């Protein structure tokens, strides 16, 4: 549909994100419920870095098979052996081995597959380490949210800060839900991804809010638009930028995901970019359909904007009468929220006077 | 809205400023030959051990004891001859990075817990090596003193009752001890570098005599004697980190490597120490170390000091063994009941504090567990590095193509800006690596790649603003570029501030890779601001003067058709 694309390009679109906020709230509530359900039923598939365990990685010989590798390591008295293909390497995950067992496995593998012992990468993670990493992440998250609340309250106002934080929690819960349902492994790299999403999510919300602030700042006491309409207007204005930004942000991440999967297999790159990829998709949705609607809900409770909404409603009622008389009025699509509509109504108003 | 004041902007000058910055950084890189940044162990290959302290109450361990542990572990690592290892604190954890492969032994050694023990000295000699290797340092034990190396305490040390009748300069000690706390300090200071122990220079003439000649050897195990004769205390690895068996006689070197000892079975455990502090003795004004023991330790200490006091030198000395080395060996001035003890003799404020810390924290049951041991082979590291760089290049390329397709001429300006951002990022990476010792790991590289989006977004915000202004149709491009900038500037700064806060919080609160990732993100956010202000904006101002842009050429990205504006006459909609 070239029509829509070119209209999108020109920023000449008018989607009522804010007006349909009940729909978005419902959708988001559903998604969050499903996500939480997934976390309760399935839980997150925590990686070896959180559970504790050992990982061996070594060059994959052409002739070796998964069963063969598993057997080789079994023979060293290791019980839980998971063998994965990781790019040009084998990646073997086992229970946590002690400092004596690790070199044994290393040597056995090196001998069997004719590689140098030093070519066998190892990783041993104690069972408590993951807990500490997770604890640090939670503290980081809490401090981060406080800092952002404070900053946004100063740069904008507390309602915007609250709306941004709610959208952020929304993103996190849904991303975690996707991980729970899909069974993707959660590693420290995944957490890196989560934390980056927070930044992006806020970044996007800030750009939208900045525009809303600018647009609503002009509203003053004129009865042209309600806060809701103005906010929607601002959102439409920045929509093209939001989509562009998201796309531009996702593209390099998709590149990492692609390279990480094809070239390296399981590992930091893949885990991280998967989290980023999932999170950015969710984040783009939330900055449009969650952050701004919540802000509007909060703002419309303020007396100033309630009064404005009343005035606009009155004026629109009379404008509608005039429009009904004028057949051309029916061509207006969603109405007063677009600049066209607003300006047209303005003309009507002048006529009446 | 204020009319645009384009006269105040001098884009050429701003671009020149950026050029100067880039050239300065480039010159630094060329001058220091820092073309390839240093890489972390996950990319270069090597072993990283993370040690986490375990406390009995689960609370965070005291900071001083962690610092102490770092310094002890650093000594051990340096002692094993690994010259390029790094020991650093990361929050409450200690991270040891050993480049290269096959360092399992070193890692095992490093991770053991330091236990302190008090043992009576049975025999002592200079740090002689077998004559064949280093004949000049061979010394006879009966030579008057082991000449202390620079900074060593000039006098012998003694233990005496604290707060008891003040004993002037200890008379019972004959043998000068060369406890070079300062030497040890400098060793700890040269982290990651080769840290040779101060070369012992005994004043005694070289000889082929038995180092134990003339000493009372009764009660000493023959195997121990044999070991004593062969030990080389001037070697780098002189047994530091060795776990000594408390129920056996041991042979140990002094910490600075200038003397060697045979020590009796452990008489008092370091865990019996309650306090240790450095202080100045009221009457003489000299620095001393005060020490106190728990009740069990106090009675053991009382027995030990009494036994040593009654013995002939060198058996009147009590060796304090920490981490396989004798950190000090004061002579006993008499039985010390009740535990309160003072060690005196040639201390400076620094050496006294140092010893007090060792007594206090060396004895502290700060137990470590190996939280994670990651060993990356150099090939795996190279694979990861290649993967990171390739994805970075692809990501950059896709974004550039996208910008060009979407924004046409404006996109070219965006691409140029991304290009400049890439150059500045590379130069920053190289300069940081060469001058701050920064090592680039995989999370850093991922952080840089991920941040391409943030950088590009600043251009998008700005370009969209320009297009908005043009769409409203009242302005020439030159005016629109300035008005749009005033608005976009604020948005870019606020949004970048959020990103920067995120980066700072993560950097300081996260562990391991997350911190590296956050650093890269923070760095790119700063670079983004620099590039947008010093490059994109002035370039846009210059471009606006070109007919290609100002007349809305079809490929400029500002052509009327693409802007949804067919002709100027239809611009009837004006803001009220």
Are residues B437 and B510 both part of a single domain? yes
Is residue A99 over pLDDT 60?
Answer: yes
| Residues of chain B numbered 484-523 and touching chain A (CB < 8 Å) | 487, 490-491, 494-495, 497-499, 501-503, 505-506, 509-514, 517-518, 521
Q: Following DSSP, what letter does each residue of A179-198 receive, concatenated?
A: HHHHT-EE-HHHHHHHHHHH
Please state the rounded mean pLDDT for residues B399-423.
87
* Res B141 pLDDT > 70: no
- Is the preceding omega at residue B314 within 30 degrees of 0, hence cis? yes
Residue B101 has pLDDT above 50, yes or no: yes
In a domain, B447, yes or no: yes
| Nearest CA distance, A261 vs chain B (angstrom) | 10
pLDDT of residue B192: 35
pLDDT of residue B208: 46
Structure tokens at B320: 């304090």
Residue indicated by tokens 């008092």: B268
Cβ contacts of A128 on chain B, cutoff 8 Å: 52, 369, 371
Each residue's pLDDT tens digit, B311-351: 887 888 888 887 778 888 888 888 888 888 888 887 888 88
Judge contact between B96 and B85, C-beta under 8 A: yes
Note the pLDDT of residue B144.
Answer: 33
* pLDDT digits 0-9 by tens, B433-457: 888 777 788 888 878 887 887 788 8
Which of B334, B363, B392 is the C-terminal boundary of a domain? B363
Give the per-residue pLDDT at A36. Answer: 92
Within a 13 Å sphere around the CA of B315, how many CA atoms are in the beta-carbon half?
15
Q: How many CB atoms lie within 10 A of CB B258?
A: 29
Rounded distance between C-alpha atoms, residue A254 and residue A239, angstroms? 22
Same domain (yes/no): B89, B185: no
Q: What CATH number does the domain containing B27 carry?
A: 1.20.1640.10
What pLDDT sits at residue A34?
Answer: 92
SS3 B154: coil
pLDDT recorded at residue B131: 45
Which of A6, A199, A340 comes nearest B499 by C-beta? A199
Output the CA–CA distances (angstroms, integers) from residue B462 to A152, A213, A252, B536, in the order listed.
Answer: 21, 17, 21, 9
The Cα B109–Cα B47 span in angstroms is 14
Highest mean pLDDT among B167-171, B200-204, B305-309, B361-365 belongs to B305-309
Q: State the Cα–Cα distance between residues A302 and A307, nearest whole angstrom.
A: 9
What pLDDT shows up at residue B354? 76
pTM assigned to the model: 0.66
- Mean pLDDT of chain A, nearest integer: 76
Regarding predicted confidence, which is higher, A346 or B168? Answer: A346
Task: Please check the confidence at residue B389 and state whether its pLDDT lies above 80.
Answer: yes
Look at strands B287-293 and B341-347 and give their pairing. antiparallel
Cβ atoms of A283 and A200 within 8 Å: the answer is yes
Cα atoms in the Cβ-side hemisphere of radius 13 Å centred on B566: 3
Q: Is the pLDDT of residue B568 over 50?
A: no
- Can you tell me the distance from the alpha carbon of B409 to that of B554, in angstroms, rounded to the nearest whole number? 9
What is the reported pLDDT for B420?
Answer: 92
Say whether both B95 and B184 belong to one domain: no
For residues A64 and A114, what is the distance between their CA atoms, to the nearest angstrom? 11
> Does pLDDT of A56 surpass 50?
yes
Q: Which of B57, B81, B110 is the last residue of a domain?
A: B110
Q: Among A337-346, B21-30, B330-339, B368-377, which is the least confidently predicted range?
A: A337-346
Whether A329 shows a pLDDT value over 70: the answer reads: no
Neighbours of A103 (CB within 10 A): 16
Q: Which domain holds residue B97?
A: 46-110
Residues B267/B248, Cβ–Cβ less than 8 Å: no
Average pLDDT of B381-390? 82
Torsional sign, CA A125, A128, A132, A135: positive
> Do residues B429 and B331 share a domain?
no
Q: Which residues of B touch A125 (CB under 8 A)?
A: 371-373
Give yes or no: residues B133 and B234 share one domain. Answer: yes
Taking residues B37-66, report their average pLDDT.
77
pLDDT band at B195 (very low <50, low <70, confident <90, very high): very low
C-alpha distance from residue B526 to each of A200, A213, A221, A318, B496 (Å): 16, 25, 40, 53, 8
Name chain A contacts of B388, Cβ cutoff 8 Å. 256, 269
* Residues comprising chain A, all counted: 353
Quickly state the pLDDT bin for B238 (edges 50, 70, 90): low
Asked if B369 and A143 come within 8 Å (Cβ–Cβ), the reply is no
Residue at B490 is within a domain: yes
Query: Tell me: the pLDDT tens digits for A152-205?
Result: 888 888 888 888 888 888 888 888 888 888 888 887 778 777 777 777 777 778
| Chain B residue numbers touching A57 (CB-CB < 8 A) | 377, 380
pLDDT at B172 > cutoff 90? no
Instruction: Concatenate the DSSP letters of all residues of B14-79 into one string.
Output: HHHHHHHHHHHHHHHHHHHT--SPPB-HHHH-EEEEEEEEE-TTSSPPPHHHHHHHHHHHHHHHHH
**Residue of B365, B390, B319 lying closest to B55 (CA atoms):** B365
User: What is residue B76's predicted lDDT score, i.e. its pLDDT?
Assistant: 65
A115-147 burial string, b = 16+ CB within 10 Å, else e?
bebbbbbbbbbbeebbebbbebbeebbebbbee
pLDDT beyond 60 at B135:
no
CB contact under 8 A, B386 and A263: yes
Same domain, B94 and B164: no
Label the pairing between strands B259-269 and B116-126. antiparallel
B263 found inside a domain? yes
Asked whether residue A353 carries a pLDDT value surpassing 50, the answer given is no
Residue B567 has pLDDT above 60, yes or no: no
The reply to whether B86 and B121 lie within a common domain is no
> Would you call B542 exposed, middle or buried from its count of C-beta atoms within 10 A (0-12, 13-18, 19+)?
middle
**Does the CB of B202 have a partner CB in chain A at under 8 Å?**
no
Domain check: are B346 and B216 in the same one?
Answer: yes
**Closest CB to A12 among B370, B402, B564:** B564
Among B110, B125, B142, the domain-final residue is B110
Nearby residues of A7 by Cβ (< 8 Å), 6 or more positions away: A13, B564
Look at A201 and B134; give whichever has higher pLDDT. Answer: A201
pLDDT at A1 over 50: no
DSSP secondary structure letter of residue A40: H
Residue B328, SS3 per DSSP: strand
Same-domain status, B80 and B19: no
Total count of domains within chain B: 3
The DSSP-derived string for A331-352 is G-SS-TTSHHHHHHHHHHHHHH
Mean of the pLDDT values across residues B517-543?
Answer: 89
- The dihedral formed by the CA atoms of B341, B347, B353 and B358, expressed in degrees to the nearest 10: -70
Q: What is the pLDDT of residue A37?
A: 93
Inter-chain contact B457–A249, Cβ cutoff 8 Å?
yes
Among B375, B506, B562, select the one facing A121 at the smallest CB separation. Answer: B375
Largest distance between two CA atoms of chain B = 115
Instruction: Tell me which residue of B576, B574, B81, B59 sits closest to B366, measured CA to CA.
Output: B59
**Is the complex ipTM more than 0.85?**
no
Tokens 């809701």 locate to A228
Which of A89-93, A319-323, B37-41, B411-415 bottoms out in mean pLDDT, i.e. has the lowest? Answer: A319-323
Give the separation between CA A143 and CA B120, rounded to whole angstroms.
Answer: 53
Sequential DSSP letters for B376-393: E-HHHHHHHHHHHHHHHH
Q: Kindly state whether residue B222 falls inside one of the protein's structural domains.
A: yes
Whether B478 shows a pLDDT value over 90: the answer reads no
Pick B172 or A41 by higher pLDDT: A41
pLDDT at position B527 is 92
Q: Is the pLDDT of residue B206 over 50?
A: no
- Which residues in chain A have Cβ-Cβ distances shorter than 8 Å to B375? 121-123
Residue A92 has pLDDT above 80, yes or no: yes
Mean pLDDT value across chain B: 73
* pLDDT score at A33: 93
A259 Cβ contact partners less than 8 Å away, ≥ 6 residues apart: A269, B387, B390, B391, B394
Domain shared by B66 and B197, yes or no = no
* Residue B294 token pair: 């728990």
Instruction: Give strand ranges (E) for B387-531.
Output: none
CATH number of the domain at B99, please: 3.30.70.3220
CA dihedral sign, ordered B165, B166, B168, B172: positive
Three-state secondary-structure class, residue A97: coil
Rg of chain B taking only CA atoms, in angstroms: 34
Size of interface A-B (CB pairs under 8 A): 256
Distance in angstroms (rounded) separating the CA atoms of residues A184 and A292? 31
Contact A259 B387 (CB under 8 A): yes
Residue to substitute from B90, B383, B404, interface A, most A β-carbons within 10 A: B383
Residue A58 Cα, gap to closest chain B Cα (Å): 8
Indicate the DSSP class of residue A263: I
Q: Which chain B residues have a beta carbon less than 8 Å from that of A192? A: 443, 446, 513-514, 517
- Which tokens hold the place of A15? 């989607």
B525 and B509 part of one domain: yes
B106 and B155 in one domain?
no
Query: Which residue(s) pair with A66 in the sheet?
Result: none
In sequence order, what DSSP letters do the residues of B401-434 get, joined into one string?
A: HHHHHHHHHHHHHHHHHHHHHHHHHHHHHHHHHH
pLDDT at A30: 92
**Per-residue pLDDT band at A142 (split at 50, 70, 90):** confident
Cβ burial, residue B311 (10 Å; 0-12/13-18/19+): middle
**Helices A227-259 and A292-299, interaxial angle, to 10°?**
160
Which token pair is A116?
């140098």
Residue B242 lies in a domain: yes
Q: Is residue B4, in this structure, part of any structural domain at all?
A: no
C-alpha distance from B419 to closest chain A C-alpha (Å): 15
- Does residue B289 fall inside a structural domain? yes
B370 assigned to some structural domain: no
Residues 6+ apart with CB under 8 A from A282: A170, A171, A174, A175, A178, A197
Contact predicate A156/B498, CB 8 Å = no
Q: How confident is the model at residue B183 (pLDDT cuts 50, 70, 90)?
A: very low
Q: How do A45-46 and A185-186 pair as beta strands?
A: parallel
CA dist A307 and A317 (Å) reads 15
pLDDT tier at B353 (50, 70, 90 boundaries)? Answer: confident
Question: Cβ(B562)–Cβ(B411) under 8 Å?
Answer: no
Alpha-carbon gap: B103 to the closest alpha carbon of chain A (Å): 10
Tokens representing B443? 């999370």
Contacts of A191 in chain B (CB under 8 A): 514
3-state secondary structure of B168: coil
Which residue has 């970075």 as its token pair?
A: B392
């Amino acid at each position: 549909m070239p029509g829509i694309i070119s209209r999108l390009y020109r920023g000449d679109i008018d989607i009522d994100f804010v007006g349909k906020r009940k729909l978005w709230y419902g959708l988001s509530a559903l998604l969050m419920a499903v996500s939480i359900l997934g976390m309760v039923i399935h839980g997150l598939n925590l990686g070896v870095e959180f559970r504790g365990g050992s990982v061996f990685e070594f060059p994959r010989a052409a002739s070796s098979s998964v069963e063969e590798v598993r057997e080789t390591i079994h023979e060293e008295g290791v019980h839980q052996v998971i063998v994965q293909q990781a790019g040009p390497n084998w990646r073997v995950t086992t229970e946590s081995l002690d400092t004596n067992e690790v070199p044994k496995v290393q040597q056995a593998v090196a001998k069997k597959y004719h590689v140098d012992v030093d070519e066998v990468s190892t990783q041993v993670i104690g069972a408590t380490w993951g807990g500490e990493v997770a604890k640090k992440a939670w503290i980081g998250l809490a401090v981060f949210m406080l800092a952002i609340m404070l900053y946004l309250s100063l740069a904008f106002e507390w309602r915007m800060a609250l709306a941004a934080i709610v959208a952020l929690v929304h993103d996190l819960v849904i991303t975690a839900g996707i991980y729970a349902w899909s069974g993707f492994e959660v590693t420290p790299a995944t957490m890196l991804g989560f934390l980056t999403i927070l930044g992006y999510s806020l970044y996007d919300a800030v750009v939208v809010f900045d525009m809303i602030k600018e647009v609503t700042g002009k509203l003053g006491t004129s009865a042209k638009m309600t806060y809701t309409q103005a906010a929607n207007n601002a959102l439409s204005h920045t929509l093209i930028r939001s989509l562009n930004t998201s796309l531009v942000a996702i593209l390099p991440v998709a590149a990492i995901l692609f390279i990480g999967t094809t070239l390296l297999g399981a590992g930091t790159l893949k885990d991280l970019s998967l989290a980023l990829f999932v999170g950015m998709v969710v984040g783009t949705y939330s900055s449009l359909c969650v952050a701004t609607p919540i802000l509007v809900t909060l703002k419309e409770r303020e007396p100033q904007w309630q009064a404005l909404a009343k005035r606009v409603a009155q004026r629109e009622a009379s404008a509608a009468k005039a429009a009904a008389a004028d057949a051309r009025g029916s061509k207006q699509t969603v109405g007063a929220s677009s600049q066209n509509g607003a300006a047209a109504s303005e003309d009507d108003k002048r006529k009446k006077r | 809205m204020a009319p645009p004041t384009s006269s105040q902007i001098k884009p050429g000058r701003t671009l020149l400023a950026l050029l100067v910055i880039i050239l300065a950084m480039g010159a630094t890189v060329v001058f220091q030959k820092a073309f390839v940044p240093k890489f972390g162990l996950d990319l270069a290959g090597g072993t990283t051990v993370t040690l986490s302290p375990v406390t009995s109450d689960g609370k965070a361990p005291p900071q001083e004891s962690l610092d102490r542990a770092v310094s002890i572990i650093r000594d051990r690592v340096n002692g094993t001859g690994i010259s390029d290892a790094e020991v650093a604190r990361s929050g409450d954890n200690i991270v040891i990075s050993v480049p290269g492969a096959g360092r399992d032994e070193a890692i095992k050694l490093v991770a053991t817990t330091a236990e302190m023990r008090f043992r009576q000295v049975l025999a002592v000699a200079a740090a002689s090596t077998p004559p064949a290797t280093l004949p000049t340092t061979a010394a006879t034990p009966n030579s008057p003193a082991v000449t202390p190396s620079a900074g060593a305490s000039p006098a012998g040390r003694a233990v005496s009752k604290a707060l008891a009748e003040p004993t002037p300069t200890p008379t019972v000690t004959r043998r000068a001890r060369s406890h070079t706390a300062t030497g040890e300090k400098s060793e700890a200071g040269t982290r990651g570098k080769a840290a040779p122990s101060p070369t012992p220079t005994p004043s005694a003439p070289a000889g082929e005599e038995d180092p134990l000649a003339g000493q009372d050897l009764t009660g000493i195990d023959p195997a121990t004697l044999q070991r004593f004769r062969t030990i080389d205390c001037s070697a780098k690895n002189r047994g530091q980190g060795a776990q000594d068996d408390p129920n056996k006689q041991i042979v140990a070197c002094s910490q600075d490597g200038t003397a060697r000892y045979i020590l009796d079975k452990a008489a008092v455990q370091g865990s019996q120490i309650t306090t240790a502090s450095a202080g100045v003795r009221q009457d003489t004004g000299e620095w001393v170390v005060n020490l106190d023991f728990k009740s069990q330790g106090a009675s053991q200490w009382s027995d030990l000091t009494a036994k040593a006091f009654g013995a002939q030198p060198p058996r009147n000395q009590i060796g304090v063994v920490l981490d396989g080395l004798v950190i000090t060996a004061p002579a006993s001035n008499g039985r010390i009941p009740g535990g309160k003890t003072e060690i005196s003799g040639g201390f400076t404020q620094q050496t006294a504090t140092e010893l007090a810390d060792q007594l206090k924290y060396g004895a502290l049951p700060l137990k470590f567990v190996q939280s994670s041991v990651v060993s990356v082979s150099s090939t795996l590291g190279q694979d990861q590095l290649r993967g990171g760089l390739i994805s970075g290049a692809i990501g950059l390329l896709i974004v550039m193509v996208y910008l060009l397709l979407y924004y046409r001429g404006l996109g070219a300006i965006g691409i140029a800006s991304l290009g400049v951002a890439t150059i500045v990022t590379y130069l920053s990476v190289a300069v940081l690596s060469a001058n701050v010792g920064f090592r680039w790991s995989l999370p850093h590289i991922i952080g840089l790649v991920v941040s391409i989006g943030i950088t590009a977004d600043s251009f998008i915000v700005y370009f969209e603003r320009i297009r908005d202004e043009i769409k409203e149709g009242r302005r020439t491009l030159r005016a629109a570029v300035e008005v749009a900038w005033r608005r976009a500037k604020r948005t870019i700064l606020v949004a970048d501030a959020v990103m920067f806060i995120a980066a700072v919080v993560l950097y300081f609160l996260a562990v391991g890779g997350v911190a590296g990732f956050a650093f890269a993100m923070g760095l790119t956010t700063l670079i983004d601001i620099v590039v947008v202000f010093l490059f994109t904006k002035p370039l846009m101002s210059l471009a606006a003067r070109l007919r290609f842009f100002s007349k809305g050429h079809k490929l400029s990205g500002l052509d009327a058709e693409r802007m949804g504006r067919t002709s100027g006459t239809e611009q009837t909609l004006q803001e009220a």
